Each structure stands twice: as structure tokens, then as C-alpha cells.
Amino acid sequence: MGTQIHGRVDEGYGPVADAFRANFEHHGDVGAAFCLHVDGEPVVDIWGGEASPGVPYDADTLQLVFSTTKGATAVVASILAQRGLLDVDAPVVEYWPEFGANGKEHIPVRWLLSHQAGLLAPSGTLDEADVLAVAPVVADLAAMAPLWEPGTQHGYHAVTYGWLVGEVVRRITGITLGEVFAKEVAGPLGLDFWIGLPEDLEPRVAPLLPSPPPTPEVAELLAVVMGPGTLAWRALTVNGAVDFADAAHVFNRRGYHATEMPAANGITNARSLSRLYAACIGEVDGVRLLEPDQMERARAEQVRGPDAALMVESAFGLGFWLDTENDRKLGPGSFGHAGAGGSLGFAHPESGVAFGYVMNQMAGGLIDDPRTNGLIDAVRASRGT
């Protein structure tokens, strides 16, 4: 007997439910959820499998979504820009004076949001306690010299993106990015989405399961691209402070749920992820997060091309990952963010679609996951595009 799928599927979206079921049968999903909004209304909201052995993955299960969190952080920055509180073309030092050390006084906020600042890893010898405390990492980033001349290239700031943008937000608002997100986004929309999870919600979190070991060929490639000392390794491990090779185990720990890591430790579900993006491109139950002009600014391409850290093509708007040749989503105009292991949230304004997928079984990679590819293809088929 196959995995039982629960939830709702509106007429015409049967292929999406079929693709979701196929993820369990053919692509290794253990526990997962998927939600699709069209024009602000949910048309698919489904879940299935196990959160942990013997425990069903249900409508209330929460999941850590790694870099899918970056989309939520980008939404906060865009809301502040929309209100005139943040000028993305202003130097970061206008909000965070200490940031100007070591020749960084002219870096605009825009470059933090689009991975151009050359600060993808801290300079000092920090340990895990420093990472969880946040303040030591922020101080190190403010004091360090960039790893390349800012604005000359882009490279994925896998973890530091959240602390850099988060500190600008904190200096503007007086509260942390997670607190701003809770007050201005999650609260009004009724989202189950936290950057810094309250302890009483821990029982709802499905533990992450490590990705299967790579083939020898893939392992050899990863050693070249992400081996110790490479930019990708420095970015993912916070210069060795976080054991990202054992990410599932590390990020299952309470300390990594409790801290604020606005690039990597958001905890949510598919329904909330889809609802978040639906409210970025239209009204959801009376709430719209980004007005049309701000939405266009947020998804306007800032950089595109070879990524200095990831060694593949990447393209970014103001914090959002855009459509690329190796990551098509629903085509040009799509904006959102994937997370390590497979989670994905995005919107495609031209079709009114907002998409959210979360899972506990990690796969090896950030893009081109067969599970999300299958769901995207099914969405396209259901809508006749």
C-alpha cells in the first residue's frame, strides 16, 4: 500500500496530487507537504508520510527549511523599503556605522541583498557558540575586509546573508528580523512560520533526515567545489564553525531552532510558505505584503552569471532567487528561494501562482530536485501552460 495523501485538491489539480504521491513512490520522500495558491486562494493543500517513525506527517507538522528562509528575510527588507524606512541604494553604514571598517563604507544595502558584498564568511576564528549567539558573528562581519572587491562579482552568502540583512533591519527597527517577521508578516497572515522558534513548538517539528550518500563521481565533484577552504565550504560552514556535512543532525538541535539565522533556520509548513508568496503578489484574506511597484523592484534582476561560491549560474533580485537555465520554476518572472535538501517557496505573478513544498528527507542539492521539478511540471500541466 502506498503512502496515504491527506488534504484538499481542487478540481483540475489532480496531476499535482499525483506528482506529490510519486515523490514518495519514486523519489524517496518520507514526510512532506505541498500547497499551491492561485490568485490568493489555496487550490492544493496536501501532506503525507511520517514526521518520525510511527508519527504521521500531518497538517500541523513544522519543518526547518534552510535557505528557503532567505525569501522571508527578503520580504521583510522589501516591506521596510516600501515604507520608506530602508533605501537599498544607501550605504550600509547609514544604518550600521560599524560596518564601514576595512573599506566597506561605500557598500550599498542592495549588494547585501544580492550577494555582491564579498562577505560570505566571517574572517575570525568563531565557534558554534558564537554562531548561535549571533552578536559575535555580526561584529566580525562588520570588522572584516571583503573577500573580493564588492560589486565586481556575486557569490552565494549561504548563511551570512541573513545576519547582514538582519543587522540592517535591527538597526532600523530596534528589534530583530525574526521579531519584525513575526509582527509584520506571520502575524497578519496567520502563518506558522518562525525565524527563532519558541520552545513550546518543538514537538511539532519533524526531524530532518540526512541525504543519501553521493555517488563516487558526485563526491569527487563536491570535493572540488565544496572541499575545505573553498568559498562554498567557507560560506556553508561559517568558516568551519558549523558542521554542514552533518546538517540534518546539527540543525535538528534546539539551539539551531532557537537562534535567529535569517538565511537558514526558518521553520514553517507548506501552507504558510505558499500563503506568504501569495500575499507578495496579491491579496490574501485582506492582506497584501508588497504593493505592485515594490514587488517589481524586489524581483528585478540585480546579478546573473557564474556564482563565485556555487560554481553554477545563479541570479538574484533583492534577496530572491530568480529563474535560471538550471532552475526554471514557472519561467521568467518567478521569484522565491529553495533550501538545502529540497524545500522551495516561490511566486509567479504572471500566472498568479504561489508554491510551497517542505519535507524531512533531505536530498543532495539546492536546485534541480526531481521532487519539486515534478510538482512544478504538474502545476504547469494543471494550468495548461
- Which residues does the annotation mark as catalytic? 67
Of the candidates 45, 296, 85, 61, the residue with the CA atom closest to the CA atom of residue 184: 85
Of the candidates 6, 19, 17, the residue with the CA atom closest to the CA atom of residue 370: 19
Side-chain-facing half-sphere of 47: CA atoms under 13 Å: 20
Q: Report CA Rg, the chain.
A: 19
- Cα separation of 122 and 149, whole Å? 16
Q: Which residues pair with 353 in a beta bridge?
A: 38, 348
Cβ–Cβ under 8 Å, residues 142 and 164: no
Give Cβ neighbours of residue 247 (< 8 Å, ≥ 6 apart): 66, 208, 210, 340, 341, 362
Of the candidates 297, 274, 337, 346, the residue with the CA atom closest to the CA atom of residue 69: 337
Q: What element of type H or E holds 55?
A: strand 55-56
300-302-306-307 Cα dihedral, nearest 10 degrees: -110
Which residue's entry shows cell 521553520?
267
Which residue's entry shows cell 523592484?
297
- Cα separation of 105 and 122, whole Å? 17
Chain center to CA of 360: 15
